Amino acid sequence: MRHVDSQYYEAPIPRVVISRMTGPTSGTATLYEPVTCLILQGTKRVVIGDTVITYDASSYFVASLDLPAVGKVIEATPDKPYIAVALRIDRAVLTDLIASMPPEAIGTEPAEADQAGFAVSEVTPDLLDAWAGLLGLLDRPGDIGMLAQMREREILYRLLQGPLGHQLCAIAQDDSRLSRVRRAIEWIRAHYDQALRTNALAEIAGMSVASFHRHFKAATAMSPLQYQKTLRLHAARRLLAGGAEASRTAYSVGYESASQFSREYSRAFGAPPSRDAERLRGMAPLGIGAV
């Protein structure tokens, strides 16, 4: 709290973001890149597809894919603000660490049905100690260059030892199911305003159409079409927050009907685009990977 006086703070420690909220928030559209988040104080609710996760300081969150989500702080006050930290996961650092670890040191492999691209798990004292070491560098900025990577690796090491270890391994493995889904997601993100062709996405993932649908839904809690629609709506919300006009925004993100866009936007965010835009312009910018 000595270092953070804004809602979102890009720390001088590489890949670390800190969030501080003095009260509950309405739903904030965000895109979780591969990341691990730890709440130090307060409670948050995250909606990803058809899954709702509520977590607090007793648990940590890991996303191993790019996932559009809506996050909402539900417990925070000025005297006891919501404080959370996030570490963006560097695939190269993770891959190097996994290669140096014996296989038996990595957490239990989940069943195929549990191959989700996000999850929460219980915080351990070892993980808290690792985070304390990394965040302690805020008080010693001169040590960041020498010690940050070592302490980042310690956090990843503790995560790999835990029950979500094999989910993290999937980030580093080119041929894991999650990595195959990730390749399809990369295409959708780059072309979200274009028509979706499931056959082409299945080919990118190296799966049959039926298998691709099943594994995509297991990983993201959304169908490919739902994922694309969510990306479009989140992109539209960012444009509206920046002052764009609603009907022009609808066409720019790929909608052919402004009325359909308005209906789906209202369903997703609880208000029509123009009214929601007025409220958004008084808030902090909608972020990528908000904590």
Domain at 232, CATH number: 1.10.10.60
Q: Which amino acid is at 92?
A: A
**One domain, residues 150 and 135:** yes
Q: What is the CATH number of the domain that holds 69?
A: 2.60.120
Determine the Cα–Cα distance for residues 254 and 248; give it in Å rounded to an integer. 10
Maximum separation of any 2 CA atoms in the chain, in Å = 56
CA distances from 246 to 56, 251, 275, 280 (A): 36, 9, 10, 13
**One domain, residues 15 and 49:** yes
**One domain, residues 111 and 215:** no
Quick one: pLDDT band at residue 286, thresholds 50, 70, 90? very low
239: in domain: yes
**One domain, residues 57 and 153:** yes
Residues 126 and 158: beta-carbon distance below 8 Å: yes
**One domain, residues 196 and 230:** no
**One domain, residues 127 and 186:** no
pLDDT given at position 103: 84
**One domain, residues 191 and 69:** no
The radius of gyration of the chain's CA atoms, rounded to the nearest angstrom, is 19
CA angle 268, 286, 172 (to 5 degrees): 90
Quick one: pLDDT band at residue 113, thresholds 50, 70, 90? very low
Residue 110: is its pLDDT beyond 60?
Answer: no
Higher pLDDT, 239 or 111: 239
30: in domain: yes
- Of 129, 125, 118, 135, which is closest to residue 18 (Cα–Cα)? 135
Quick one: pLDDT band at residue 228, thresholds 50, 70, 90? very high
Residue 27: is its pLDDT beyond 90?
Answer: no
0.85 exceeded by pTM? yes
- Average pLDDT of the residues of the chain: 90
pLDDT tens-digit readout, 249-283: 999 999 999 999 999 999 888 889 988 888 776 55
Among the candidates 136, 156, 171, a domain finishes at 171
pLDDT given at position 107: 77
Q: Indicate the length of the chain as a whole number.
A: 291
**One domain, residues 17 and 160:** yes
pLDDT given at position 251: 93
**One domain, residues 56 and 182:** no
The domain tally of the chain equals: 3
pLDDT given at position 283: 58
**One domain, residues 112 and 44:** yes
41: in domain: yes
pLDDT given at position 219: 93
**One domain, residues 178 and 271:** no
**One domain, residues 135 and 153:** yes
Among the candidates 137, 171, 205, a domain finishes at 171
Look up the domain containing 254 and give its range: 226-280
Residue 80: is its pLDDT beyond 70?
Answer: yes
287: in domain: no
- Residues of the chain with pLDDT > 70, as a percent, come to 94
Determine the Cα–Cα distance for residues 274 and 244; give it in Å rounded to an integer. 10
Q: In a 3-state reduction of DSSP, which class is residue 151?
A: helix
Query: In the predicted model, what is the mean pLDDT of residues 140-151?
Result: 97
